[in-house]
Amino acid sequence: MLTEQQSTRATPSFDVVPGEGGREAIKLEKAEVVYGRGKRTTQALAPTQLRVEKGEFVALVGPSGCGKSTILKLVSNLLAPSSGHVHVGGREVGAKRVGVGMAFQNPTMLPWLSVRDNVMLPLKIVPPFRSRFRKARKGEFRDRADALLEKVGLKGFGDKQPWQLSGGMLQRASLCRALIHEPELLLLDEPFGALDQFTREELWGILQNLWLESKPTVLLVTHDLREAAFLGTRICVMSPRPGKIIDDQPVPMARPRTISMTYDQDFVRLTQQLRELITHSRPDVA
Amino acid sequence: MEFVEKIRQKLAAAMLILGVFVVWEIACLLMGIPEIVLPRPTVILETLSARLPQLMPHVLQTLGTTLTGFVMGVTVGMLLGAIVGSSRVAYDTAYPLLVGFSSIPKVAVVPIFVLWFGSGTVPAVLTSFIICIFPVVVNVATGLATTEPELEDVLKSLGAKKREILWNVGIPRAMPYFFASLKVAITLAFVGTVLAETIASNRGIGNVMMIATSSFDVPLVFSGLFLLALLGVALYLVFSLIERRVAGWAMRKSELPTL
C-alpha cells in the first residue's frame, strides 16, 4: 500500500532505483503473525507490507511490543508467517541461501569461545567460507576477524573470553560477528538498547562507517528515534500491537552524519514528528 | 605472593585431612577399641603394605571392571541424554522409564545378571554400567534442554542445520553438566562393581573384602575400603583435570579452585 509508493520518495544519497526488479532485498506481503491456537490467540503482527531495496538502511521504530522484532524474525527465517509472504533476495524466505548477519539486543556471545572465535563463528557455518574454515581459521580468517575487531575499537581483545569484556565491548564484538561474512543483509535487533548514551553514539558512528564501506541492506529495529534518524536512509513507524507500518519516510540528511547534526533543526523536527506519530497511535492517548 | 598463598591453602587442607586420621588413631588408642571392631589407620597401612602384592591383581580387576562399565554407561548415557534433551516426546517417555529403572536397588538386579551371564566379571561390568547411566542422562538432557534459545538463534539466523546447532551450541553448552555427572558416575561405578563382586565373583576387591569379613580379618577389610577410596579419588581428579580443559569456561578464573 503505502510502502510501495513511499519508497519511491526515498531518495537517499546513493543510487538506488526503487521498484526495479533486481534491486529488491526484502518484501513482506500481507505477512501476519499470530501466536497460539483456537480462541486464545494473540496477533503479534497485523498483515504488513514492507519493501526494502538493496543497499537501503531501514530503521523500524515503534512502541515496545508492536512486532518490530517479529519482522526481523520473519526476515531471518527464525519465524514463519501465519499468513502472507516474506521474500528475501527475490525468493520466498529460506528458499535460497542469503548471507544474513544478525545482532541482537543481548550480545549472545558463546561463553566457551574466545571473542575472536565468536566473531569467526559465521565463517564456520556460512558457505563459501565453511569449506575453508579448517585451513584458514589460523591465518586468513583470523586476520580478518582481528581487522574487524580493530575497526570497532577492540584491538587486542580477540583472545579474551566474553565474560572479561564489558557490555559495550561485547556489543561491538557482536557487530563484528554480524559483519564478518560480508552479508548482503544485516538485521539489527535493538543492538545498542542496553548501552549508555556515549557508547551508543560512538557505535552509531562505527556502524555508519561500516555500512558506507560495503553498503549491505540493513534492517534496524530500535526504539531510539535519534538512532533511527541518525542511521537510517528510511524510517518506518509501527503502530502498537498488533503492529503494522503506519508511516514510512526517507531521511534526507547527507552522509556521513555526525552526532552534532542530531541537534540541528531539521533533525530535531524529524524526531519530534516521529515521536508524535507514535504517541498518537497509542490507543490510550488517542 | 599469590603463589605462597596458594601453597599455604593447599598445606592447610592437607594438614586437615591428615588431622582426621590422627584423631582416628588417637581415639582408637585412648578408648582401647579392639582391631576387630575398628583398626587404627597405622594398622591398616601396615596390612596394606604387607599384602599389596596379593591385593594388586584384585585392584586391577576392580579398576578394569569399573572403567569398562563406566565407559559403556557414559556412552549410552550421553546418547540417551542427547535424545531426551532435544526431543519433547523422548523427554516425556524416557524420563519416567529411567527414573523407574534407577529406583530399583542394584542389589536386586545383580542376581538377575548372574542368572543370565553366570558369576564373574560380566555381572560386575553390567552393574556399574547401569548405575552410571542415570546421572549422565539427567545432566546431559538438562544441559541441552536449558540452552538459551538466543544462542541457538545466532546460528539459526546464519542458516545452520540442526546438527550444526547441536554441535556448536548444544554440546559445548552441556559440557559442564556432563562433567559434573561424570564425577558422580565414576564414584557410583565403583559402588556397582564392588556390589556385584561381593555377591557373585571370585575376584576383585569386593570379593576380597567379603572373604576377609567372613574370616574376621578386619584390617584387610579396611585396607580394601582404603584402596577403593583411593581409586575413587584418583579418577575423580583425572576428570576434574579434563573438565578444566574442556569446560573451564563455565568457571571464571577467580573462582577456579586450583588442584
Sheet architecture: strand order including A42-53: A42-53, A24-35, A83-88, A91-92
What pLDDT score was predicted for residue B193? 93
CATH homologous superfamily of B40-255 equals MetI-like (1.10.3720.10)
What pLDDT score was predicted for residue B44? 92
Measuring CA to CA, which residue among A41, A170, A44, A188 is closest to residue A110?
A170
B76-124 tens-digit pLDDT: 999 999 888 888 888 888 888 888 888 888 889 999 999 999 888 999 9
- Range A265-273 average pLDDT: 88
A173 Cα to chain B: minimum distance (Å): 13
Number of helices and strands in chain B (H, E): 10, 0
B15-44 tens-digit pLDDT: 999 999 999 999 999 998 888 889 999 999
What pLDDT score was predicted for residue B248? 79
HSE-up of A57 (CA within 13 Å, CB side)? Answer: 25
What pLDDT score was predicted for residue B160? 84
Q: pLDDT at residue A183 above 60?
A: yes
CA distance A59 to A230: 10
A110 interfacial to chain B (CB closer than 8 Å): yes
What pLDDT score was predicted for residue B256? 47
B151 interfacial to chain A (CB closer than 8 Å): yes
Residues on chain B touching A110 (C-beta within 8 angstroms): 151, 154, 168-169, 172
Nearest to A126 among B159, B173, B249 (CB): B159
Percent of chain B with pLDDT over 90: 50
B126-182 tens-digit pLDDT: 999 999 999 999 999 988 888 888 888 888 888 888 888 888 998 899 999 999 999
A260 Cα to chain B: minimum distance (Å): 34
CA distance B173 to A138: 24
User: Helices (DSSP H) in B40-168: which residue ranges?
Assistant: 41-86, 88-103, 106-117, 121-145, 149-156, 162-165
Q: How many CB pairs under 8 A join A and B?
A: 57
What pLDDT score was predicted for residue A264? 87
Burial class (CB in 10 A: 0-12, 13-18, 19+), A205: middle
What pLDDT score was predicted for residue A242? 79
Residues with Cβ within 8 Å of A196's Cβ and at least 6 positions away in sequence, in order, are A168
CA distance B213 to A76: 69
Phi first, then psi, for residue A26 (nearest 5°) are -135, 140
Phi first, then psi, for residue B202 (nearest 5°) are -115, 20
CA distance B181 to B77: 10
Residues of chain A numbered 76-105 and touching chain B (CB < 8 Å)? 76-78, 97, 100, 102, 104
Element containing residue A116 per DSSP (H, E): helix A115-125
CA distance A278 to A63: 7
What pLDDT score was predicted for residue A168? 86
- Range A245-249 average pLDDT: 87
What pLDDT score was predicted for residue A5? 43
A12 confidence band (pLDDT: 50, 70, 90): very low
A115-171 tens-digit pLDDT: 999 999 998 888 888 888 888 788 888 898 999 899 888 888 989 889 889 888 999
Q: pLDDT at residue B202 above 90?
A: no
What pLDDT score was predicted for residue A7? 42
Measuring CA to CA, which residue among A105, A43, A72, A76 is closest to residue A240?
A43
CA distance A203 to B44: 69
Tell me the pLDDT of chain A averaged across its residues. 83
ipTM: 0.75
Ramachandran category for residue A242: left, alpha or beta (phi over 0 → left; psi -120 to 50 → alpha): beta
The DSSP result for A172-193, as a single string, is: HHHHHHHHTT--SEEEEESTTT
Where in chain B are the domains? 1-33, 40-255
Q: pLDDT at residue B259 above 50?
A: no
Bond from prior residue into A183 cis (ω within 30 degrees of 0): no
A15-39 tens-digit pLDDT: 444 444 468 888 888 888 888 877 7
CA distance B228 to B233: 9
Three-state DSSP class for residue B26: helix
Nearest to A104 among B150, B159, B172 (CB): B150
